Amino acid sequence: MKICGLREPEHVAAAVEAGADAIGFVLTRSSRRVTPERARELAAAVPPHVLTVAVFAGEAPAQVRAATLASGVRAVQLHGDHPHGDFTALRDLGVTLVRAGAAEVDPRCGAFDEDLLIIDAPRPGSGEPWDWAAVRGRPSGRWMLAGGLAPSNVAEAIAAARPWGVDVSSGVESAPGIKDAGLIRDFVAAARGTAAGPPA
């Protein structure tokens, strides 16, 4: 499971401690945007078993490459209409390549030589739920469901779409762009199918 749009060290720590598998830093136009240098600072506290992901949307491969190297993350997520060639051009970076798009994208993970596929709402990072069940049985390989997930609905979404993993941003925020450690813990617990315990 991936927790995306982190900007503060305490939220990175909360996600790691809760058991997230991946942590996303938004390096594209967004209210959650961080600089590559800030992403590097935040990623420095992340243990190696948790994947650090830089999120882009529409930038040219040269720009993605420069920002990825500056941030030191271990994965690149390309949102939207990136052609196959963009993934090919970034392969030599040696990072995990993630393709992300709405339900209409090619649902085969690996079709663009990516390592991981995210199927998201039409407006990424909007927190808007969509018809998760519509993709059930269509995607193949390692794919994550995203878009409007929250502690209160992630179990329902997993049951509806049967994804390999899940990805969240808005649903673990107390206000737009402001992450909440308690909601991060609740989300991870709900996605893992366990009840969230009381705060320590």
Ligand X SMILES: O=C(O)c1ccccc1NCC(=O)[C@H](O)[C@H](O)COP(=O)(O)O
Q: Which residues of this protein are in contact with ligand X, per CB under 6 A?
A: 4-5, 24, 26, 28, 30, 32, 55, 57, 79, 120-121, 124-127, 146-149, 167-171
Q: Which residues are known to be catalytic?
A: 4, 120
Contact between 129 and 121 under an 8 Å Cβ cutoff? The reply is yes
Nearer to ligand X, 39 or 121 (CB): 121
Q: Is 142 exposed, middle or buried (0-12, 13-18, 19+ CB in 10 A)?
A: middle
On whether the CB atoms of residues 50 and 117 are closer than 8 A, the answer is no
**Minimum distance of ligand X from residue 200's CB (angstroms):** 26
Q: Which is nearer to ligand X, 189 or 200 (CB)?
A: 189
In angstroms, give the least distance from the CB of 149 to ligand X: 6
- What minimum distance in Å lies between the beta carbon of 167 and ligand X? 5
Q: In whole angstroms, how close is the CB of 153 to ligand X at the nearest point?
A: 11
Q: Tell me the closest approach of the beta carbon of residue 109 to ligand X, in angstroms.
A: 15
> β-strand 165-168 against 22-26: which pairing, if any?
unpaired
Expressed in angstroms, the distance from the first to the final Cα of the chain is: 23
